[in-house]
Structure 1
Amino acid sequence: MGIRKTDDHIREIEKLRTEIESMELEMRQLHESRQKLHFSQQKNEQLVSTLHEAKAQIEALRKEVDKLSAPPSTFAVFYNTNEDGTVNVSLGGRKLRVNLHPSIPPESLKKGQEVIVNEGLNVIEARGYDPQGEVVHLKHLLDDGRAVVSLHLDDERVVEISDALTHQDLSVGDHLLFEPRSGYLIEKLPKGEMEELVIEEVPDIQYDQIGGLTKELEQVKDAVELPFLYPELFAEHRLSPPKGLLLYGPPGCG
């Protein structure tokens, strides 16, 4: 009986050893399978990343091709907005009513501002003000947002004042940038130091409206008016008219 039990134990031990070896083999195979799976997942992630990069590059190339093959856009100047959502623009000297892209708020557009119009005559982009144009002089401000300006050769023209100048202090004689295609004044230009001293608008004030300076006014008349009223006397007595007058005194003295 003792020998039989010993043989049974040996067989059980051998059986367990065999099962353990089988389990160890399966564990190694499972570990190897997991490593292969992990490696495959990494390769798959790299492949997915490569595909995304390739897709992005293809999309970028497609956009570049579309951009290069697209018809040219046109610059126009914004006038105003209509009740139906369309806008009025100046394009090549013509005033047109066109559609506005939904992404552009109508209230964001300013009079005289440049916009881009596509081949379908739709405003697709808003830009700033054109920095180029003609330099004109302000002659007179009208009450309805317009102004009279002096062009070259002293020609005068009635023009529109853009929103860029609405809140600026404009006065007669100012140098302004004029956009001739749209008829808008878009910028106030600085004057030179000497031009700041020139009175562009002659004051309409008579001598009798100035009080308390009788002696000084007589001196002004003698120096300014006499050489023009009696030039023959100045020539006869070889008198040289004064080249100018220097008026000085504290503020408020006239």
Structure 2
Amino acid sequence: MRSCASAGRPAGPRTGQAGAASPTARPGEWGSFHCARSHSRRVAQGSRIDGFEREEPMSEPGHSELVALRRQIVSLEEKNGRLSASLATARDRIKELNDQLETLSRPPASFAVFLAAHRGDHSIDALVGGRKMNLAASRTLRIEDLELGQEVRLNEQLVAVEAGGFDLVGTIVAVEMVVDDRRVLVRVHPDESRIMRVAGRLRARGLRVGDAVLADMRDGIVLDVVERPDVEHLLLEEIPDVSYADIGGLGEQISQIKDTVELPFEQPGLYREHGLKPPKGVLLYGPPGCGKTLIAKAVATSLAANSAARGGGAKSHSYFLNVKGPQLLDKYVGETERQVRDIFSRARDRAAAGIPVVIFFDEMEALFRTRGSGISSDVETTVVPQLLAEIDGVESLTNVIVIGASNREDMIDPAILRPGRLDVKIRIERPTREGSLDILSKYLTAELPLREDVVERCGGRREAAAMLRETIVEELFARVPRNEYVEVAYASGARERLYVSDIVSGALLAGIVDRAKKLAIKDFLATRRRGLAPVHVVEAVREESLANEDVATATSPEEWARVNARGRADRVVDVRPLFAGTAPPGRGEADGAGGRVPPPSVDAPSIGDRPVREWSGASTTELM
């Protein structure tokens, strides 16, 4: 690059050349002028010349206007974006308003009930307000998929355009007769019956006589089957989870039940060969809480297992209809009898498939008591004949067994108990000492929390649990003054003292174990000592006996005697409590609430008038 000094010679004249020397310029000045102008131009363009730093660019004509235009363009683009968004929002809102306007201005649509389809002209027969009409159908409506009784929506021209569902409300009526798969005879009122159409969705299911159905009385269509809670809740689709192994102390009674009920189901050929008919029913009677209901459930479980074994299948199945006597009583005339008919009708339907059905009437005396014995009601005069008609009726009770349970068998009508109806009568006695141990083994097991010191002294958990069971039985069956329960006076003048062991039942033993568990929990919260101990079971025996003594004093002597199977030969005239937990007369409230001696604490080393003992075979040791 040439320096400014070397550029001092004048250049030749050039016509029209930009930057030519002025005619007035003196020789030698033109180079200096040209160098200064070139230098200022390079500095203005930000160039670095001869080591000088670049300076701020010099403003050229039009530069500021260009910047302003660019800023204006950016601003307009932003405004255009906001305007576009606003226009899109307004467009969506206008569409929404148009839809609402169209909806609000649409004429009301009516509904019709479908009856039949005509594919030739794509029309349907339907009921519109109870009138039968032939309507055109939209091509978008698949009329071949419509079912009788289904609703369809109509437009303003009465054209079917959309399929609906089935009506959910109507009148409950009972089916009296099935005419065919499309029609049934129903009873609307006691003196009125009607033929009605059957909705398409019910044809595959099938209707039976006695079914409660939902009917549209205006259109004459049966729409649905209503499961009546007064009957359907009696049916257990799954068998009860109770087996004979879960029942203790009733080995003899269980053996009788097996011979009576299960053998005819297991060996029907032998029964036919010997001309024997299976018994129609069994009556289980005896004191309350002794296992009558458990036996009935175990029968259903066993019959299901035997049925599965005969069929070669792994799945066991049976039906157990648990009927509580008082539940069937109804204030409306004829309703109780109808429910009895419904129960036996359902039992026959299910037994027709070869599945055993057990109808269990609990508290049978409440429903089928002796006719003429009612004080303010004579419902038994019609209910008992209804049951007899079902048992002795023309329709067979094949694969159906009736089991009744009662603790007042003396109140049941004798006609029900005669041979040929409830043939077999099994008395469920109170458990003996051995039976009580067997029952307790189902509730007080080695898996429960047990005191560590008790386990150590007994030599193991199983031995400790056995010791606790033996402790309960010793406390209950000891014929000592502290276990005297009541004194019974008879009309002949004789008196008898009963002990706690005379009122033992399976329910009482289960209650004792439950009380002992609660005492163990309270003891743990107070002392942080975990597990059952003899002190808990002994105190539980005392509390449970006191509770039953209260029941004895709260009932009349006659009622108490009948429930507890006393006074059969001699009428009971008085029942006086004798339990040791009752304070002597005259001590009043000073010794405890209600005149009772307050029970000792569970932390005491002895309870009653003797120490708590550990049972360990040959020796006994006092334990907490």
TM-score normalised over the length of structure 2: 0.30
> Residue by residue, what CA displacement relative to the aligned partner does 1:59-93 show, whole Å, maximum 9, x if unpaired?
32233233333322112111222112222221011
Contact 1:78–1:89 (Cα < 8 Å) also in 2: yes
Pairing 1:1-254 to 2, within 5 Å after superposition: 2=8, 4-15=30-41, 17=44, 21=58, 26=63, 30=66, 32-83=68-119, 84-191=121-228, 192-193=230-231, 194=328, 195-199=338-342, 242=413, 245=416, 247-248=421-422
* Residues 64/197 of structure 1: CA separation in 2 closer, same or farther (3 Å cut): same
Q: Determine if contact 1:90/1:181 at 8 Å carries over to the other structure.
A: no
Instruction: Report the CA distance shift for 1:6/1:59 in structure 2 as closer, same or farther (over 3 A).
Output: same
Alpha-carbon deviation of 1:249? Answer: 6.5
Secondary structure of the equivalent of 2:416?
coil
d(CA) in 1 for partners of 2:103 and 2:66? 54
Compared CA separation, residues 41 and 152, structure 1 to 2 (3 A): farther
Cα distance, 1:165 vs structure 2: 1.6
SS of residue paired to 1:58: helix
Deviation at 1:169, TM superposition (A): 4.2
Give the C-alpha shift of residue 14 in structure 1.
4.0
CA distance in 1, matches of 2:145, 2:79: 51
Q: Distance in 1 between matches of 2:153 and 2:415?
A: 54
More strand by share: 1
- The answer on whether the counterparts of 1:138 and 1:150 sit within 8 Å (CA) in structure 2 is yes
| Structure 2 CA distance for partners of 1:31 and 1:73, relative to 1, 3 Å | same
1:47 is paired with a residue whose SS is helix
SS in 1 for 2:184: strand
Measured against aligned partners, the alpha-carbon deviations of 1:206-247 in whole angstroms (never above 9, x if no partner) come to xxxxxxxxxxxxxxxxxx79xxxxxxxxxxxxxxxx586253
1:7, CA displacement in angstroms?
2.5
Match of 2:460 in 1: none
Q: Residues 6 and 89 (structure 1 numbering): CA distance in 2 closer, same or farther, change over 3 Å?
A: farther
Q: Is the 8 A contact 2:113 2:127 kept in 1?
A: yes
Question: In the alignment, is the contact (CA less than 8 A) between 1:104 and 1:125 conserved in 2?
Answer: yes
Greater RCO, CA 8 A, separation 6+: 1
Identity value in percent: 26
Q: Find the residue that maps to 1:151 and give its secondary structure.
A: strand
Unaligned runs of 5+ in 1: 204-223, 226-241
Contact persistence 2:125–2:133 (CA under 8 A): yes
Check the 8 A contact 2:117/2:124 in 1, yes or no.
yes
The CA deviation string for residues 6-55 of structure 1, in whole angstroms up to 9 with x for no partner, is 422332344553796467964x6555544433332332232222222223
The equivalent residue for 1:221 is: none
TM-score of the pair, normalised by structure 1? 0.68
Q: 1:174-231 CA distances to partner (integer Å, 9 max, x unpaired)?
A: 1111112332111111222345432598x9xxxxxxxxxxxxxxxxxxxx79xxxxxx
SS, match of residue 160 in structure 1? strand
Match of 1:216 in 2: none
- Whether the 8 Å CA contact 1:138–1:176 is kept in 2: the answer is yes
- Tell me which residue corresponds to 1:211: none
Which amino acid is the alignment partner of residue 123 of structure 1? A
The question of whether the paired residues in 2 share the 8 Å contact of 1:111 and 1:162 is answered with: yes
